[in-house]
Amino acid sequence: EVMGWWRQVRPLLGNPVFALRYERVVAGFEAETRALLGFLGLGWVEAVRGFHRGAAGRYIASPSRRQVAQPLYAGSVARWRRFAGEFAPVEAVLAPLVEAFGYPPA
C-alpha cells in the first residue's frame, strides 16, 4: 500500500525526485554517486569514495551502525529471493510494483 501510494503521490509533489537503486550503486558506485551529486547541484569530491571511513570510530545511533562504517557490498542485492516462498501468497499484489520499479519478475 505504501509503494502504491508513493506511485500516486510522486507526480503530484512538484519537486524533482532522484531514484537511487542500491543495485546500481553497488555495480557502479562512482557513476551513480556522481549522478546523485549532480542532481543535488554538488560536485564530486574524492573523499566520497571513502564515505565509510568518516563513520569509523564515531557513535552512530542506528541498528545498522556497523554497516555504515563499511564499504558497500553486493551481499544484499536480491537477498529477497531467499524468502521467495514467503512472498508467494502476495506475488500477484506485488507484481505491478515490481514491474513499475523496473525489477525482473520473481
98 backbone dihedrals φ, ψ, rounded to 5°:
-60, -45
CA gap 72, 23 in Å, rounded: 10
Q: Does the pLDDT value for residue 46 go beyond 80?
A: yes
pLDDT, residue 57, reads 76
Q: Long-range contact list for 14-23, CB < 8 A, 24+ apart?
A: 22/76, 22/77, 23/77, 23/78
71 vs 36, which has greater pLDDT? Answer: 36
pLDDT tens string 69-82: 788 888 888 888 88
pLDDT, residue 30, reads 95
Q: What is the pTM of this model?
A: 0.76
Tell me how far the alpha carbon of residue 40 is from its chain's centroid. 17
CA gap 35, 1 in Å, rounded: 29
